Amino acid sequence: MLDLRVVDRLNRRIGEVVSYVFLVSVAIMAYEVAARYLFGAPTIWAHESTITLTALGFLFGGAYTLQRREHIQITALYRLFPRRVRWVADVVAHLVMLFYVGVLIYAGWIVAAKAWASMETSASAWNQPTPVVIKTALVVGSLLLALQGLVHLLQLLGLARRGDDDTEAR
């Protein structure tokens, strides 16, 4: 059997590291509020930085959440069905997710390539290449999500084993 625990470990590690961007975002916004209201010196970079950081957190958080099997489920309804029906629902859900994420990767690649070609900037006062960063992260985050979804699908189909260090399904 195929052992794809490397994808689990990669997504878990990236998720753990990227989770700190939310803390950094809070610190940046606290600094901005103090600078603006206490010292009358607003920044031109705080808002855009916070948006970029939180976008990165959400884009990479999807694969992390899927790795931990913590996406929202309607468990009260899900548990009413027999095991075989739940298995079919899980396989169908993963196939639909992989299709959707595949389209997202394709479309994201197109917009990211255009952003890179023109070195697109935010057109704000700070005018950083924020669109390049976010659009590239969309593609990378979607690829990680697709890989994690593929691992789960292979595990559901019995073509890959579930690692001992995986988070158990809730």
pLDDT digits (tens, 9 = 90+) for 104-140: 999 999 999 999 999 999 999 999 999 999 999 999 9
Specify the pTM. Answer: 0.88
End-to-end CA distance of the chain: 24
DSSP string, the chain: -B--HHHHHHHHHHHHHHTHHHHHHHHHHHHHHIIIIITS---SSHHHHHHHHHHHHHHHHHHHHHHTT-S---HHHHTTS-HHHHHHHHHHHHHHHHHHHHHHHHHHHHHHHHHHHHT----SSS--SHHHHHHHHHHHHHHHHHHHHHHHHHHHTTSBPPPTTSPPP-
CA distance 143 to 59: 10
Give yes or no for a contact between 159 and 1, defined as CB atoms under 8 angstroms apart: yes
CA distance 15 to 90: 23
**Side chain identity, residue 138:** L
Q: List the structure tokens of 3.
A: 């052992």
Give domain limits for the chain. Answer: 5-156
pLDDT above 70 (res 166) = no
In this prediction, residue 169 carries a pLDDT of 44
Give yes or no for a contact between 82 and 144, defined as CB atoms under 8 angstroms apart: no
When pLDDT is cut at 50, 70 and 90, the band that residue 163 belongs to is low
CA distance 24 to 32: 12
pLDDT above 50 (res 100) = yes
In this prediction, residue 170 carries a pLDDT of 40
In this prediction, residue 152 carries a pLDDT of 96
CA distance 123 to 132: 12
In this prediction, residue 135 carries a pLDDT of 98
